[in-house]
A and B are shown apart, each in its own frame.
Chain A
Amino acid sequence: DAGVTQSPTHLIKTRGQQVTLRCSPKSGHDTVSWYQQALGQGPQFIFQYYEEEERQRGNFPDRFSGHQFPNYSSELNVNALLLGDSALYLCASSLLYEQYFGPGTRLTVT
């Protein structure tokens, strides 16, 4: 059984560009959450998707948006990238209460 997978592993973008990160949840999981982890900090909750709808959202600007597909996979989109968006982006899937995290996508904005 594959765990949570994320792509790409690493990404380098320029300020002002847009980026899309992808996540495939663990088999049977219907909820996907996204987190941003800056260097030396704990992960910060961005938003959560369930039944293709955004169910919860953290304190992130509208530049951060997402989508969940019928197969429960998800995308995180970030527009107008800023240097401060450089971070590890983590996806977590869950069925009930336990969240399983993927390895993350390391985004560098130059």
Chain B
Amino acid sequence: DAKTTQPPSMDCAEGRAANLPCNHSTISGNEYVYWYRQIHSQGPQYIIHGLKNNETNEMASLIITEDRKSSTLILPHATLRDTAVYYCIALPSVNTGTASKLTFGTGTRLQVTL
């Protein structure tokens, strides 16, 4: 699995967009970019994933650069409840039909403030 690099911490004011970057310069063509987050004292929670097109769901948007070497997770209107550690993970294609092991780094600790 490709290695990912994220800043250790970020701050964001409540109501503003939180943009969390991830570098995955060695990602291969069949690897998806996944984002999970972990709120304090809870298990990680799936947010979104994508291959090369931008993706959006009810939680967030994922912007992947054309060369696929980096991506940005966007929380459009951050709230205090979005304070968590966010993990960016590169995973092989979902078309295997099986769940791959997740290789977590240390992630980005996002602090949303009033």
A47 to chain B, nearest CB (A): 9
B interface size (C-beta, 8 A): 22
Q: How far is the CB of A34 from chain B (nearest CB, A)?
A: 10
What's the count of A-B pairs with C-beta under 8 Å?
62
Question: Do B94 and A96 have beta carbons less than 8 Å apart?
Answer: yes
Decide yes or no whether B99 CB sits under 8 A from chain A: yes
**A interface size (C-beta, 8 A):** 28
B interface: dominant SS: loop
Q: Which of A31, A99, A102, A103 contacts B102 (CB 8 A)?
A: A99
B59-88 interface bits toward A, Cβ cutoff 8 Å, 1 = contact, 0 = none: 000000000000000000000000001010
Closest 6 pairs between A and B when the two form their complex, measured CB to CB? A101-B43, A42-B104, A94-B99, A97-B94, A45-B101, A101-B44
Chain A residues within CB distance 8 Å of chain B: 4, 31, 33, 35, 40-45, 48, 50, 55-56, 58, 90, 92, 94-104
Residues of B within 8 A of A (CB): 41-46, 49, 85, 87, 91, 94, 97-107
